[in-house]
Amino acid sequence: MTTLKDQMARWKLSVKRPEAPFSPVPGQSQNVEAPASPSPSPAAKPKASSGVDYYATKIKLHQKLLTRIDLDSIESLSSEQLRNELGVLLASIIEEDAIPLNHQERTRVIADLKNEIMGLGPLEPLLADPAISEIMVNGSQNVYVEKSGRIHLTDICFGDDAHLMKIIDKIVSRVGRRIDESSPMADARLPDGSRVNAIIPPLALDGPVLTIRRFAVVPLQMQDLVEKNSLTPAMAELLSALVKVKSNILISGGTGTGKTTLLNILSGYIPSGERIVTIEDIAELQLQQDHVISLETRPPNIEGKGEVTMRALVKNSLRMRPDRIVLGEVRSAEVIDMLQAMNTGHEGSLTTVHANTPRDALGRLENLVGLGGISLSSKPLRQLIASSIHFIVHITRLNDGSRKISSIQEISGMEGDVITMQEIYSYRRTGVNPDGTVLGLFRATGVRPRVSEKIRTYGITLSDGMFDPGPGH
């Protein structure tokens, strides 16, 4: 892993944008929903009073700063001390060269250069905003963010594609991965656990594309979902009980619905005395228990060797004496090993899958087994699924950006060749407010789950009437 000293020794900006005026202070959203407003061209942004070329000035200061830094001495400084020292040094360089900057411009260029060296450059103001849940960089000039489920275009931009490429390389190199023309796609994570995906030319035709799915600094709890009206208190009570009594739970939903967030919340109900093994492509889960072993897949190296797949990690985890296995997402042949583990002594395991409905989730599990090259006829495979998965929790993202747990279903067994399920709770959409927010109701179906007797034997008392059908909430 590269050190700060190494990064500063080789970190060079390669911005070549002549005549580019100052842009507004970064981090302030234009509050324009995409794609209604196109990206503003650099020429459309207001000029600073001094008329100085911002990017040319930034390059000049950066290059001069690198000649003044003692790379050996910075190793003894903390991050905060180094940021302060960089600020003092940059201020003195601006004074010495008599660069005509007003107070706002001076403050911004010093902050930007600190971010270039210490952080992720123009992305730092966005990463500092806790209201932003997703950052989408579509080339060097178009940066979008998601706030409260809505997409907005920001005034943030990079100097050019080479500048953006350096930021991407900095991110992926932190986790020992690489991205270049021979391997133009990469997944990574930030120190706070945020998920990162990057894809670059020649696959991305309009320049490098970077997508960052933010994780909350303080992980969400079940009460937060209740307050956001993503589910009812009764649904939350049932889900927590299901985890405690070791029900195998499959969380299904589309992209961006919050499957990993819910998986992380549910895993918080696993008793602290149990040994938990988590397996993910990119480690994102933030389990709070003490006895947690986190495993992460590894992509092949430049020679195409050294890959460690999800399936290999699932197989290995079975030799690690886990009480519970938490699989970030099933995407391939590892599903068969996960199902067998759930069915042979590793009850209480959790995983997620992409699907549009709970029934589709079962079909997707079957398809994944087939895609893995495993020859198994339909009925035995469905019997394995029915005996391994106890509950399916489906999450839906509505068009106003809100997320709802739209269905909780218990798998009750087989009827002929069909897996049977009974719905315990559902969400029904009823309309739309004038402001675009979706109206709907959660309701109990009146079905009491078969697991309720098991819950009672664990000493857990469920609220009276929580399964009674009613007008909805």
**What's at 31, amino acid-wise?**
N
306 and 441 in a common domain: yes
- CA–CA gap between residue 204 and residue 197 (Å, rounded): 13
Phi, psi of 242 (to 5 degrees): -60, -40
236 and 209 in a common domain: no
The pLDDT of residue 32 is 37
**How far from chain centre, in Å, is Cα 212?**
7
pLDDT in tens, 119-159: 788 888 888 888 898 999 999 999 999 988 789 999 888 88
Name the pTM for this structure: 0.73
Closest to 468 (Cα-Cα) out of 262, 223, 242, 232: 232
CATH of the domain at 126: 3.30.450.90
- CA–CA gap between residue 263 and residue 285 (Å, rounded): 8
**How far from chain centre, in Å, is Cα 349?**
21
Give the sign of the dihedral formed by CA 398, CA 189, CA 193, CA 164: negative
- CA–CA gap between residue 458 and residue 440 (Å, rounded): 34
193 and 240 in a common domain: no
pLDDT in tens, 421-441: 999 999 999 999 998 889 999
- Highest mean pLDDT pick, 11-20, 90-99, 214-223, 287-296: 287-296
Structure tokens at 128: 């500092």
Residue 88: count of CB within 10 angstroms of its CB: 10
**Are the beta carbons of 210 and 219 closer than 8 angstroms?**
no
**What stretch of H or E contains 414?**
strand 403-415
364 and 233 in a common domain: yes
**What's at 465, amino acid-wise?**
G
The pLDDT of residue 72 is 60
438 and 383 in a common domain: yes
Instruction: Tell me whether residue 249 is in a domain.
Output: yes
74 and 126 in a common domain: yes
Beta strands in 297-347 (DSSP E): 324-327
For residue 433, the 8-state DSSP code is: -
- CA–CA gap between residue 99 and residue 60 (Å, rounded): 10
380 and 303 in a common domain: yes
Q: Which structural domain, as residue segments, surrounds residue 8?
A: 4-213
pLDDT in tens, 278-335: 999 877 888 888 899 999 998 887 777 888 999 999 999 989 999 999 998 998 889 9
The pLDDT of residue 454 is 94
Residue 454, burial from CB neighbour count under 10 angstroms (0-12, 13-18, 19+): middle
152 and 226 in a common domain: no
CATH of the domain at 445: 3.40.50.300
Q: How many domains does the chain have?
A: 2
Q: pLDDT confidence of 392, banded at 50, 70, 90?
A: very high
pLDDT above 90 as % of the chain = 44
- Highest mean pLDDT pick, 86-95, 176-185, 219-228, 368-377: 219-228
237 and 148 in a common domain: no
Average pLDDT of every residue of the chain: 82
Instruction: Tell me whether residue 429 is in a domain.
Output: yes
- Rounded to 5 degrees, what angle do the CA atoms 186, 192, 194 make? 40
| CA distances to 8, 382, 414, 418, 461 from 411, in Å | 56, 11, 9, 11, 22
Residues β-bridged to residue 138:
209
138 and 191 in a common domain: yes
327 and 266 in a common domain: yes
**Are the beta carbons of 272 and 291 closer than 8 angstroms?**
yes
Closest to 407 (Cα-Cα) out of 428, 387, 386, 388: 428
Instruction: Tell me whether residue 470 is in a domain.
Output: no
pLDDT in tens, 229-277: 999 999 999 999 999 999 999 999 998 898 989 999 999 999 988 999 9
- Rounded to 5 degrees, what angle do the CA atoms 424, 427, 431 make? 160
Structure tokens at 390: 């106890």
- CA–CA gap between residue 243 and residue 326 (Å, rounded): 12
368 and 243 in a common domain: yes
Structure tokens at 223: 């009460």
